[in-house]
Each structure stands twice: as structure tokens, then as C-alpha cells.
Amino acid sequence: MHRSSSSRVLALGLALALAAGGCATRPCTDSDCAADAQITAAVKARLKQYRDLGGSNLVYVSTRHGIVYLTGQVTTELQRGEAQAAAEQAPGVVDVVNTVALGYSGQ
């Protein structure tokens, strides 16, 4: 009986995960989505201006409702701050969530 209950919980969790994932993958059709795409493009363009963020450093950008999400990995805290500053300066940005990790590039 306990096994059946666990199976139901697992099935429910899987169904909810799939449903939530489906929401995130729908194509943008409203003006908010278009604005978010413009913000993402502006942030990416600004990031390209920072030579220190090239090479082995990887910064990914996504935007939702004007909030820019930065992910990836850079070598130094200074580079992480540069990515944050570049995103904050882009037009239309409401806030920046910076989860860029620090890593060692090694030689």
C-alpha cells in the first residue's frame, strides 16, 4: 500500500513538472515577450563590449518580465561584477539576478 502511494506522488510530481515545463517553452506572442527579447539582445551586445568576459568565460542571458537572469561561469569576481553592470545598463531592465559562478580556468 505504501508503494502505491509513493508511485502516485511520483506520477503527480512528474505530471506537474511536465506541465510547468510546457508553460516555459511556449513561443512568445505578447508584447512582454518581444520586450524581453529586446532586453536580452541589448544585454548580450553590452557583454560583448567587455573583452574580459570572452575566452573561457561563459555568461548566458535570459529575460522574463524585464528581469534579466545571468548564468554561466567566469574566472574572477570582477568579471562577475562587469556582467552585472552591463546588464543593469541595458534599457528596459527592471532587475538583474546574477547567479554567474566563479571558476578556475587553469593553465
CATH number at residue 59: 3.30.1340.30
Residue segments in the chain with a per-residue pLDDT below the cut of 50: 1-7, 9-24, 107
Domain of residue 77 covers 30-102
Using left for φ > 0, alpha for ψ between -120 and 50, and beta otherwise, residue 23 falls in alpha
Give the count of domains, the chain.
Answer: 1
- What's the Cα-to-Cα distance from 37 to each of 16, 43, 50, 69, 72, rounded to whole Å? 27, 10, 21, 12, 19
Residue type, 70: L
